[in-house]
Every structure is written in structure tokens, then in C-alpha cells.
Amino acid sequence: MPNNHAILSASSSHRWLECPPSAKLCSEQPDTSSEYAQEGTDAHTLCEHKLKALLGTETIDPTENLTYYNEEMERCANEYAVYVSEQVEKTKSVCKDPVVLVEQRLDFSRWVPEGFGTGDCVIVADGTLSVIDFKYGKGVEVLAKNNPQMMLYALGALELFDGIYDIDTMSMTIFQPRRDNISEHTLSKEELLRWANEVLTPTAQLAIKGEGEFKAGEHCRFCKARTNCRKRAEYNLELARYDFEPPATLEDIEISAILAKADELVSWVTDVKEYALRQALSGVTYDGFKVVEGRSNRKYTDENAVVKAVKAAGFDPYEHNVLGITAMTALLGKKKFNELLGGLIEKPQGKPTLVPMSDKRPAINTAQEDFMEVK
């Protein structure tokens, strides 16, 4: 995969399409890397190897060089490779010799200045162009419908093959194994190009110049400027106008407005506190605050010595617990797990939770609805 990053990258398109000037602002910030990002990079590297091996393409096993390799990553990469190979076989039923590209650089600079990205897998056949993207994260479920990253990849793939194959349908798939999520979406080539010309290009032209309106929202999550962005602060501080009134005194419409921003508000406050701590450690002072040593827990200096000493005293130093379901699945594999333990698993009813209407889970009956049914 390329090491350089486009200012208007596909992976950050969800943000800069909503907040165009954030692209230039973020490009001026230093690059930082988290262990989650490195873990994702390792997973993608393993997926590439597994898929190439399954497709019969020359590849070198990268496992010994992966910092975060474990059994879960191995399982997820195998599942991804199997899934993609199945899609290739399905495509062969309608196209004798489809083109399959793995970790393909995709250029969509016709619509986005200097725009490019890397597609995990592209399958090209007469009629349909398919883009499959692997997501290793498990915190947020990623959907394919109206996903600008996937649409940009589709545009890049279309640039490569539209004149060679008679393409009329674009298929986009998110494969996210740690969330048991396979999200698929299709749209016509005409729909994709209409979006590209009417929405994407005008916004990208603003973004590359640092122009347009700042806008705060869910897309701020991975913005480099999120900690000290004034627009995000204004967006969240709007809640202060409620002056922490008791909930019972608020109108329903006011509570709806608060609920819509609650998660983002918590995230913003956390980001600001983390930013302030970093600044304080570098010498910045904030009136009324100081840096102190946080609480810590005792820990053994040498676990092997602890085991030896406790055993010598005639005690068992180990805990003995049954593995949790996730760990047991990783140990046995999904098939063997279901064979051995399928009949011993139950899923209790979850605690009621208030979520946005966009959540895919079906609504449960409220007390009033139960009363009406009985009546």
C-alpha cells in the first residue's frame, strides 16, 4: 500500500464532504499513529496474503513481521479470503474470465484533486464492477449504502475499466468480521456519476482550497483538529443553553435535540480533556488546574517468581475459569464451537436502550404499547 496520503483521501471523505475546510486544516497537522491504526494495517496485510494464496497468486507470508498478529486476526483474514473467493466464483458464472485486483491503487482525480486510494479487492466483469473493503475495527459498524469511501473506490475502478468492460452496475461491499457485518449496496453507473459530478466535485474543489463552511457532527470523530476546533465547541456548547435544568422541565422536542448530540458531546469533552493534559504536560497552565499523579494499582514485578513462591508454600497461584464465548470461539473455530456448544448457548434479552432511528435493530414494545395490546 502507498505510504503517502492524499489530502482528499477516500478514507476521510465522510469528513471533508461534510466539512470541506477540515481537509486543508488536517493536512497541516502532524501525522500520528495509534495502536488501533497499526493493528488495522497488520490485518489488511494478512488479508492480502490470505486472499492471494487462495487465488493462487504468488505471495509471501507476512505473519512473523506483524506486531499485532493473533488468533482472532488469523480467523478474520481467513474469513475475508474465503468470502472474496466465493464472490469471484459467483462472478465466473456470468463472466468466464473476470479481472480480480488485490490492493489496487485507484485514481479518482478526475473528480477529486490528486484523489487516490487503495481498494482491498476489485472484481471486474461484464455488466458489474464490484468493490470489496475489509474493515478490522469493531467499535463502529460500517455500512456500504451512501458510503463515500466506497463510492470513490468505485469511481477509481470505473476509470480503469469502463472503456474495456460494458459496466452498468456498481456493487460495493463492506466486510467487517469482528462486528459480524457484511454490508452490501448496489447502484447504477449513472447514479454514481451523477453524485460525482453534482456533489463530489464541487465539494472537493472547496476542500482542496480550504474553503467552504466548517460543520460539526459525527464526522468529527477522526478529525485531527477535533480537540480545539471552534465550530465543534460551538456545536456542543449549544447544550449549555438548557442550563442543566431537571429533565422533567424540558419539552420533548428539547430532549430529542439533546439526545441527538449526547454521544458527540461526551466525545468532545473527552477530547478536550486529553488535549488539555497534553498541553499541560508540555508547560501550558490552566487557571484552577494542576497536573498530579493519577491512581495506580499494585502489580507483580516477576510473575514467574510469584508462581514459584506460592507453589512452594503449598497453594495454587492460578485462577481457573471457563473461557468466554468469544475466546472459546477463537479456540475451537466457529464450526466446531457450534457443533460442541451450540445447544449450551443462550442470549438473554438485552437491557432497553434509546438509540437513533437509523439503528438497524427493531424497536421493542413500550409499556404503553403492551397495555394497548392487552386492552
Q: Considering the domain boundaries, does residue 41 fall inside one?
A: yes
pLDDT of residue 218: 83
Give alpha helix (H) positions in the chain: 13-18, 22-27, 35-55, 71-92, 148-161, 189-195, 201-209, 230-237, 252-281, 303-312, 325-332, 334-341, 367-374
Question: Are 144 and 120 in contact, with CB atoms under 8 Å apart?
Answer: no
Both 22 and 138 in one domain: the answer is: yes
Angstrom distance (rounded) from CA 90 to CA 154 = 19
Angstrom distance (rounded) from CA 11 to CA 251 = 39
Both 125 and 241 in one domain: the answer is: no
pLDDT of residue 203: 96
pLDDT of 29 higher than 50: yes
Q: Considering the domain boundaries, does residue 201 fall inside one?
A: yes
Question: What would the mean pLDDT of 254-266 be, rounded to a whole number?
Answer: 80
Both 114 and 46 in one domain: the answer is: yes
pLDDT of residue 201: 96
pLDDT of 269 higher than 90: no
Residue (of 79, 90, 88) closest to 55 by Cα position: 88
Per the rule left: phi > 0, alpha: psi between -120 and 50, beta: everything else, 243 is: left
Both 245 and 335 in one domain: the answer is: no
pLDDT of 302 higher than 70: yes
Both 173 and 245 in one domain: the answer is: no
Q: What band does 232 get if pLDDT is binned at 50, 70 and 90?
A: confident
Mean pLDDT for the chain? 87
pLDDT of 3 higher than 50: no
Both 54 and 103 in one domain: the answer is: yes
User: Scanning the structure block, which residue is given the C-alpha cell 469511501?
Assistant: 149
> Which range marks the domain in which residue 196 is found?
13-209
Q: Report CA Rg, the chain.
A: 25
The DSSP letter of residue 349 is P
Count of domains observed in the chain:
3
The per-residue pLDDT for range 173-184, each reduced to its tens digit, is 999 999 989 999
Question: What would the mean pLDDT of 321-342 be, rounded to a whole number?
Answer: 85
Q: What band does 329 get if pLDDT is binned at 50, 70 and 90?
A: confident
Both 84 and 180 in one domain: the answer is: yes
Both 63 and 130 in one domain: the answer is: yes
The amino acid at 183 = S
φ, ψ of residue 136 to 5 degrees: the values are -90, -15
pLDDT of residue 206: 95
φ, ψ of residue 131 to 5 degrees: the values are -120, 125
Q: What band does 370 get if pLDDT is binned at 50, 70 and 90?
A: low
Least confident span in 60-74, 81-95, 150-164, 320-334: 320-334
Q: Considering the domain boundaries, does residue 351 fall inside one?
A: no
Q: How, if at all, do strands 127-134 and 167-176 pair?
A: parallel
Q: What band does 225 get if pLDDT is binned at 50, 70 and 90?
A: confident
DSSP percent split of the chain into helix, strand, coil, nearest 5:
50, 10, 40
Both 270 and 315 in one domain: the answer is: no
Both 61 and 126 in one domain: the answer is: yes
pLDDT of residue 245: 60
Both 162 and 272 in one domain: the answer is: no
| Residue 157 belongs to domain with CATH number | 3.90.320
Least confident span in 43-47, 163-167, 198-202: 163-167
Q: Considering the domain boundaries, does residue 362 fall inside one?
A: no
Both 88 and 149 in one domain: the answer is: yes
Least confident span in 3-7, 65-69, 357-361: 3-7
Q: Length of the chain in residues, anyone?
A: 375
The per-residue pLDDT for range 108-167, each reduced to its tens digit, is 999 999 999 999 999 998 889 999 999 999 888 899 999 999 999 999 999 999 878 889
Q: Considering the domain boundaries, does residue 217 fall inside one?
A: no
